[in-house]
Amino acid sequence: MLVTHEREKLINAILYFAHNTRYLGKIKLFKLLFLLDFEHFRQTGRSVTGLEYRAWKFGPVPVQVM
């Protein structure tokens, strides 16, 4: 399986959050990924993970763009 650079960064971000966050559930992970991408985009004009986000009831939900 070919792993793109953005996908590898997404996997590494998920692993980082999983190892360094207490009580990491799906919703909390989605919010952390959004904050990571949003702050990086604000500083550099590019997202880290390459994901798009949709607004749902409990916060942003990542959507993979192919």
Interval 6-41: pLDDT, tens? 889 999 999 999 999 999 999 999 999 999 999 999
Domain count, the chain: 1
Looking at the whole model, is its pTM more than 0.95?
Answer: no
Name every residue whose Cβ is closer than 8 Å to that of residue 32 and which is 6 or more positions away in sequence: 17, 21, 24
List Cα–Cα distances, 40 to 23, 25, 45, in angstroms.
Answer: 24, 22, 7
* Residue-range definition of the domain harbouring residue 10: 5-63
Judged against a pLDDT cut of 70, whether residue 2 lies above it is answered with: no
C-alpha 53, offset from chain centre: 9
The pLDDT of residue 63? 86
The pLDDT of residue 6? 86
